[in-house]
Each structure stands twice: as structure tokens, then as C-alpha cells.
Amino acid sequence: MAGLAAVCLAAWWAFARLGREAEDETWARVREEGVLRVGLDPSWPPFEYVEDGQIVGFDVDLAREIGRRLGVEVVLVNVGFDALYDALQVGRFDAIVSALPYDPARTKDVAYSISYFNAGQALVVRADEGQIKGAKDLAGRRLGVEWGSEGDAQARKLQKKIKGLTLRPYMATEEALQALKSGEVDAALVDAVSALQFMGREGGVKIVGHPLTDELYVIAVRPESHALLRAINEALAEMREDGTLARLREQWF
Amino acid sequence: MKAPEKAVKLALAIALLLFTVRPSKPLVTLGPQQYVRTINPKMGVHTRLTDEVEEWKIKRTLQMVREMGAPWIVEYFPWAYYEPHKGRFDWSHPDAVVNHALRQGLTVIARLGFVPEWARPEDTTSSYLDEEHYDDFGDFVYAFVEHFKGRVRYIIIWNEPNLSLEWGYRPVDPESYVKLLRIAYRRAKEADPEVQVLAGALAPTLAPEGDPEGMNDLAYLQRMYDAGAGDYFDILAAHAYGWRAPPDDPPAPDRINFRRLELLREVMVRNGDADKPIIVTECGWNDHPRWTKAVRPAQRIAYTIRAYEMALEWDWCQALCVWAFRYPRPARSYQDYFTLVTVDFTPKPIYLELQRYAQGK
């Protein structure tokens, strides 16, 4: 009896899911045509930018990998950033993959995937640093920032809360990170992308603790594209699990 | 009465009291009259208080503008918000904005636009206004100017009409814009002969002839003059974004940079308007860490200060207003890197440097 109930429940679940998938016209069309159209603005290296007439970047490879796992080809649609949401709504493409920050104010208008990257402010220390594990360990320390940046603004807030924290401003993020590497400062507060790029290029430093701010990059679809969103989320989860996301990061940063 | 019964009754009474007694809104007063102290009386900013609901935030924003040293603000007053139905006006929010601005010693430049649904066909955007409703816009302009007579002396008619997206996603039409401008100008002067009417502002763009996205601003301005616009504005509003070029980068017809303003000025002079000033109602640089059109934060600070200095040097420039002071909520995009103050009123480093500049430090 219990077995019969389980079978009925499973069957109900499968039919319900198939029914919902059938309601997702975007997903149905993507599967039928074998094409996923992705909107992006190639003005955000290394996520998407134009090189030798081609759009390349982390997001391009991410979208193509998602497409591969979904069994569809990915077609890129180039749209200015400010028009991405409107263009998605009117059906110019099926998903936005464009270093798109999660916006809680738009959750009625679009459906967002799980986050695949956090571009917020990161605390960076030398690779052999053992004592500074987060912002709370900065008391009495010297913190390098790019003058005028978001990191600078966040550091000034920290300075009001952390005793003896000294700020050293530099004219470029690169200079702040070089100062860290050379020992001129004990830590640097910079955006995560710059930190990863420096780590990839120069080494000798590492990111510690949680990001001080969040800028979560997500994929957006129309609210009714729930089956497509589920498929994208499953692909992202797999990519995180099997190391593909990490490999993409190493390749592009 | 047993103790548990008493407790239940007390709890119910408290719940009833909390339910019926609504906390009153906190009182926000205008405060004493303030004055802007600055070495540069042409400094301005574009505020975004249209969607700022809480009055204390309106006041705080405008206090910070004054404290930064900027006497001018540009603010957006959407027609649809204040005349939701023909002939029925709600001035409560703009009154708060204008009154607080005046109390902080600021001069308000009011941008008018944003078509209400009753004045446009279904499935059109808020920038869609066809000629059969130009008189309705004129009526609104009259009502606005009359209501704010003595308080708002500058109004901008529309915004970037040389872009299709600002013209209801239709092909742009300078001659039709001049018709709109003429009606708005006449109605404004009818309400207050002293009010200053600003035409434009035009979006700086190199769009070629026939481009569906828009029209080159220099060409558009000339077509405006050819259609008789010269009689229907007092000041030209202009937008002057620098993108990656420093403010001193020389102007050229095939280049978008800060000094493109001088080319607009040449068109004005060529058409007999040497006596009319320009007010820059939007300008600035962006310091997003990755956007291909952004500059480094240190450059943004230096360029913005230099732009304010250049405004002082240009006798035809009446004010220069930087986009944008603060947003009521994060834009969650590169747009956030245009602001001077964060959503929670934290001054960014650029705000502090502009303040030092205004103090002569």
C-alpha cells in the first residue's frame, strides 16, 4: 500500500513538472529550436567585451557551457546595458548573462538564477599572512585602497569602527595591491575582480574572509520562464560542484 | 477573575490599542533659512527626489547639496505624477522638494516631461506625446509654473528629444519638438513672464543621418533653429558627458566629450543667440571599475573639479549640474558610479573633494 502511494506520488510529481514545463513557452521553444538566445552588453571586461570583432569573456563561456549542458546552441544578442531588462521583457532574447547584479527591486519583473559570482569589495592580504583573516583583524593595521573608489569609501567606514586602522590611498588599484605585496601595507580593500586578476597575474596575495560588500552576478529570465530557470540553475549548480566555475575563473582572472 | 483570564484580557486590550493607535508621521520642519557658501556659484547637481517618499530624506539630500557648496539643482517633475487625471493636480510631493530646496538656499531647475496614460495611446511609453496632446502638456506647464510662481524660475521642456527612446520610440522630429516648445513657452510666460524656459537638453550623439536611434545633437539643434525655435526658449539646456576623455579634450564634430558644449554654443551664435546662456543640466564622469566608458576614481574627481572651473571660465555658461547627486535606491548597475552620495547618505570621496574645492581648499 505504501509502495503504491509512493508510485502515485512520484507519478503526480512527474506529471506536474511536465505540465509546468509545458507551460513554459520559452523553454519549449528553446528545446524545439535548439537555440538559447542570450542578451549581453560587451562593455564589461573580462565578463564580456569585444576582441577582434568577436564578443568574448567569462560570461560568454559561462553561457556557452550552460547551453552545452542544456543541449542547445547559444546565440549572443548585443544590447546596451540600460535596455537589457526591457529587451528581455519584449522577447528579444531568453536570458540575460551580462555581469548582471541581483536587484531585489526587480524580482516582480524578472526571475533570477542563483548567483555565480560576487564582484563586491574583497579584503586581500599577502599569501603568507596568517593573522588577518577578516576585517575584524585590522586593528592597528595599514590598509591600502584606491583613492576615491568604493573600497576607499568602505575603508573609511571601517576606520570609524576599528581602532588604529590607518588608510593608505593609492592612485590605482594595481598600486594598492603592489604596495600590499611589497609590505608597504598589511592589507588592501579592492573589488573582487581586480583582486582575482592580480592574483592570477602576479600571485603572492590571497583574499580572506567574506566580501565586505555584495555585488552578486546572476542570470535573468522572464518570470514565466520557470522551467528554463530551473534548467539554468541546475547547470550552474553542477558547474560549481564539478569545478567548471572555478576553472572559468582561473581562465579569465 | 482568575489570573490567566486577566492576562488574556490585558493582552487583548494591548493588541486593540496597538491596532487602533497609528503612529503619526515624524514631523519634518523646513528649519531656518540657509545660504550656500561656495567659491563657485555655478556649481550644481542633478538630484533624483522624484521617487523619494520620505520627507526627511528629501531634506537631508538638499542639506548635503548645500553643504557641498552647490547652489543649483536640477530635479525631475514628472507630469504623470502630478496630473494623474486631466485637470486634477497633486502638488504635495513637489511642494516638499521645492520648499526644502529653497530653505537650503538652492535654485531649482525643473525638468518637465513623462506623459500620463490619459494623454497617450495604450502600449506606448511615458516619452510618447503626439501633437494632439501638446495642448495638454501646455496646460500642465501653465499649472506648474503658476503653482510655483516665485519659487521655481527655471523649467526645462522635455529631455533629449533627439533620441528615439525619449521621443516615444518614434523617429525623432525636431520640427515637432519646436511645436511643443512653442506651446510650452507661451503657456509658461502666460503663468509667469519672469520664468526662464530651457529648451532640450539634447543628448550628445554622433548618430548618422537617418539613424533609427536618434539624431546628431548639432544637426538637431540647427533644425530646431530652422523651425523657429529661437523665439521660444531663453536658455539652452545641455548634457555634457566626458566618458573617458578629460574635460580639456578639444571638441570636434565627430567626438563626444565635455567640450562638445562649445560646438552647441557655436550653433547658437550662428543663429543669432549669442545673448542666450547655456545651463549644463547633466554632465560628469563614471568610475565603475570595469565599464569601458569609465575612468579611475581619482580621474573622476579631478575631471569634475576641472569641469566646474571651466564653467566659471565660460561667460555663456550659467550653471553646471553634475549627474547625479544620490539615488533613493541603488541602481544595481554602473549607474551607481555616477553618484556623489550613497543611498544611506554616506558621502563618497568625490563628494568630500568637491566640498573642499567649493570651500577654496
B139 Cβ contact list (under 8 Å, min separation 6): B87, B187
Q: Chain A contacts of B301, Cβ < 8 Å?
A: 148
Q: Which value does ipTM take for this structure?
A: 0.88
Domain match, A29 and A110 both: yes
User: Looking at per-residue confidence, does A83 or B259 come out higher?
Assistant: B259
Nearest to A150 by CA among B244, B350, B292: B350
The DSSP code for B214 is B
- Count other Cβ atoms within 10 Å, centred on residue B254: 6
Percent with pLDDT over 90 in chain A: 89
Q: Chain A contacts of B329, Cβ < 8 Å?
A: 105
- Which of B334, B337, B345, B352 has the highest number of chain A CBs within 10 A, making it the mutation to test binding with A? B334
Q: How far apart are the first and last CA of chain B?
A: 75
- Binned at pLDDT 50, 70 and 90, residue B336 comes out as very high
Whether the CB of A191 is below 8 Å from some CB of chain B: the reply is yes
Minimal C-alpha gap between B209 and chain A (Å):
21
Q: How many domains does chain A have?
A: 2
Domain-embedded: residue A2 = no
CATH number, domain with residue A201 = 3.40.190.10
Grid cell of B99 as nine digits: 520648499
Domain match, A88 and A202 both: no
Domain match, A107 and A135 both: no
Q: Chain A contacts of B346, Cβ < 8 Å?
A: 153, 157
Mean pLDDT of all residues in B123-134: 95
Instruction: State which residues form the domain around A139.
Output: 121-208
Domain match, A125 and A36 both: no
> In terms of DSSP H, where are the helices of chain B?
3-20, 55-68, 79-82, 92-103, 134-147, 174-191, 217-226, 260-270, 297-313, 349-358
Whether the CB of A194 is below 8 Å from some CB of chain B: the reply is yes
Calculate the average pLDDT of chain B.
Answer: 95
Give domain limits for chain B.
36-358
Minimal C-alpha gap between B64 and chain A (Å):
17
- Binned at pLDDT 50, 70 and 90, residue A3 comes out as low
Grid cell of B335 as nine digits: 549607474
Mean pLDDT of all residues in B92-110: 98
Q: How far apart are the first and last CA of chain A?
A: 57
pLDDT value at position A17?
56
Domain match, A125 and A68 both: no
Domain-embedded: residue A76 = yes
pLDDT value at position B208?
86
pLDDT value at position B2?
62
Residue-wise pLDDT for B137-171, tens only, equals 999 999 999 999 999 999 999 999 999 989 999 99
Maximal CA-CA distance, chain B: 94
CA pair distance A117, A107, nearest whole angstrom: 19
Q: Chain A contacts of B296, Cβ < 8 Å?
A: 146, 148, 171-172
Domain match, A40 and A161 both: no
pLDDT value at position B12?
82
Domain match, A182 and A130 both: yes
CA pair distance A86, B122, nearest whole angstrom: 17
Percent with pLDDT over 70 in chain A: 91
Residue-wise pLDDT for A231-244, tens only, equals 999 999 999 999 99
CA dist B78 to B44, B75, B159, B236, Å?
20, 10, 11, 20
pLDDT value at position B26?
67
Residue B296's closest chain A neighbor by CA? Answer: A172
Global pTM reads 0.90
pLDDT value at position B218?
97
pLDDT value at position A237?
98
**Measured between CB atoms, which of B297, B334, B335 is closest to A148?**
B297
Mean pLDDT of all residues in A174-193: 98
Whether the CB of B332 is below 8 Å from some CB of chain A: the reply is yes
- Binned at pLDDT 50, 70 and 90, residue A21 comes out as low
DSSP β-ladder status, A187-191 and A142-146: parallel
Mean pLDDT of all residues in A98-104: 97
- For residues A225 and A27, the answer to whether their CB atoms sit within 8 Å is yes
| Assigned CATH for B36-358 | 3.20.20.80
Domain match, A105 and A154 both: no
Domain match, A87 and A167 both: no
Domain match, A185 and A125 both: yes
Minimal C-alpha gap between A149 and chain B (Å):
6
pLDDT value at position A97?
98
Domain-embedded: residue A1 = no
Whether the CB of B290 is below 8 Å from some CB of chain A: the reply is yes
- Binned at pLDDT 50, 70 and 90, residue B211 comes out as very high
Residue-wise pLDDT for B28-82, tens only, equals 999 999 999 999 999 999 999 999 999 999 999 999 999 999 999 999 999 999 9
**Measured between CB atoms, which of A146, A171, A193 is closest to B290?**
A193
Domain match, A168 and A114 both: no
- Binned at pLDDT 50, 70 and 90, residue A23 comes out as confident
Mean pLDDT of all residues in B292-309: 97
Q: Chain A contacts of B333, Cβ < 8 Å?
A: 81-82, 101
CA pair distance A239, B8, nearest whole angstrom: 56
Domain match, A49 and A164 both: no
CA dist B15 to A67, B4, B21, Å?
55, 16, 10
Domain-embedded: residue A3 = no
